[in-house]
Amino acid sequence: MVLVFAEHQKGQFKKAAFEAVYYASETAKVLGTECAALVLGEAEDLSILGNYGATTVHQVADAKLNQFDSQLYTDVIAQAIEQLGASVVILNHSSTGKSLLGRLAARFNAGSVSGVNAIPKQDGGRFLVQKLVYSGKAIATFELKSDLKLLSLMGNSVPPQKTDASAAVQALDISVGESKLTIKEVSTVEGTVPLPEAELVVSAGRGMKGPENWGIIEDLANVLGATTACSRPVADVGWRPHHEHVGQTGVAIRPNLYIAAGISGAIQHLAGVNSSKVIVVINKDSEAPFFKAADYGVVGDLFDVVPRLTEALKKQKAG
């Protein structure tokens, strides 16, 4: 059986969970088995995971699991794996999923691959998975030989498909230990899609000349429904918050559309964004290295081009 750990935020399932469940159900098809989901903590509307291919949703609703602790979660998931007899476990390649993947691999001495980006293949009895390595500069294929196989799924790499199937919800009887952590504060930006999950991203860099000019970037992001991001120098000088920094030392992203304005495209920046499906570069310097990695380029002053693009998008939306 393929078991997928479905992440939720304060009880709500988001795209990452649907992607993981869909990926797990496709993996189950490859292996000719069933897909079950596991939910930890209190959450609403669990049966929605059936829409993405889970036949059963198992829940451990203990309120101690409402906050993330990798040790506590690993204990519970490990018991679920044993109780349910899972042979493959799917997680998101998120901060939560990465911690759990590593811990579970060590717990079971099981083979794991983090950040897979395609449905596994069976090849003459070999279980093969694929991921990007060298910051997106190459694709690696791995074989997993252990009985239990653990995978974390890179966000935005396998689009989930929805059906109207539903899932049976079952409570799992697993006792939960005590956390060694005290969560003092959680601060997240509300109302926007976090960068690792965003399908559309509008990003800007030093070409903006100052933080006070970011209004045109926010306008463009708003009309697209995109998340805003920035380059490293801009985050370093405090023009934009640290969590917006995309690139090698910041967040690595792979949206469907990445629009970069006033970013030259240093290799460290590209390392974090070059897996984006479509890249649009706006820069007044036609020699900017970013144009080599772009699908569409606009050579021009971003202070003219960006508002013009926003207007063109508004017109298209209205039309």
Partner 1 sequence: MKLLVCVSKTPETTTKIKFNADNTALDANGVQYIMNPYDEWYALVRAIELKEKFGGQVTIINVGPAGNDSTLRKGLAIGADEAVRINAEPQSALYTAKQIANYAESQGFDAVLLGKETIDYNGSSVGAMVAEYLGLPFLSYASKLTMENEGTVIVDRDIEGGTEQVEVALPIVLSAAKGLAEQRIPNMRGIMMAKRKPLKVEEPVEFDDAVVTVEFQLPEEKGAVTLVDPENMDELVRLLHEEAKVI
> Taking a C-beta distance cutoff of 8 angstroms, is the pair 110, 104 a contact?
yes
114 interacts with partner 1 by CB under 8 A: yes
> Taking a C-beta distance cutoff of 8 angstroms, is the pair 188, 243 a contact?
no
Q: How many residues bind partner 1 (CB under 8 A)?
A: 96
122 interacts with partner 1 by CB under 8 A: no
Residue with tokens 């045109």: 216
Chain centroid offset of residue 312 CA: 30
Question: Whose Cβ is closer to partner 1: residue 47's or residue 314's?
Answer: 314
Question: Whose Cβ is closer to partner 1: residue 70's or residue 166's?
Answer: 70
- For partner 1, the binding residue among 8, 240, 245, 254 (CB under 8 A) is 245
82 interacts with partner 1 by CB under 8 A: no
> Taking a C-beta distance cutoff of 8 angstroms, is the pair 107, 146 a contact?
no
Nearest approach, Cβ of 44 to partner 1 (angstroms)? 19
- For partner 1, the binding residue among 122, 159, 162, 189 (CB under 8 A) is 189
237 interacts with partner 1 by CB under 8 A: no
Chain centroid offset of residue 27 CA: 18
Nearest approach, Cβ of 122 to partner 1 (angstroms)? 13
Spatial separation of the C-alpha atoms in residues 28 and 51, rounded to whole Å: 15
134 interacts with partner 1 by CB under 8 A: yes
133 interacts with partner 1 by CB under 8 A: yes
SS3 string of 87-126?
Answer: CEEEEECCHHHHHHHHHHHHHHCCEEEEEECCCCEEECCE
- Of 43-51, 161-169, 181-189, 211-219, which segment contacts partner 1 by CB under 8 A? 181-189
Residue 42: closest CA among 171, 184, 186, 152: 171
Strands 88-92 and 149-153: parallel
Nearest approach, Cβ of 14 to partner 1 (angstroms)? 9
Nearest approach, Cβ of 302 to partner 1 (angstroms)? 9
Spatial separation of the C-alpha atoms in residues 95 and 208, rounded to whole Å: 31
> Taking a C-beta distance cutoff of 8 angstroms, is the pair 166, 190 a contact?
no
What part of residues 143-172 is at the interface with partner 1 (CB under 8 A)? 143-146
What part of residues 89-108 is at the interface with partner 1 (CB under 8 A)? 94-96, 98-107
Spatial separation of the C-alpha atoms in residues 278 and 28, rounded to whole Å: 31
268 interacts with partner 1 by CB under 8 A: yes
302 burial via Cβ count (<10 Å: 0-12, 13-18, 19+): buried
In angstroms and rounded to an integer, the radius of gyration of the C-alpha atoms of the chain is 21
64 interacts with partner 1 by CB under 8 A: no
Binding mask 200-219 for partner 1 (x = CB under 8 A): x-------------------
Question: Whose Cβ is closer to partner 1: residue 162's or residue 292's?
Answer: 292
Question: Whose Cβ is closer to partner 1: residue 37's or residue 77's?
Answer: 77
- For partner 1, the binding residue among 25, 51, 56, 74 (CB under 8 A) is 74
Question: Whose Cβ is closer to partner 1: residue 13's or residue 50's?
Answer: 13
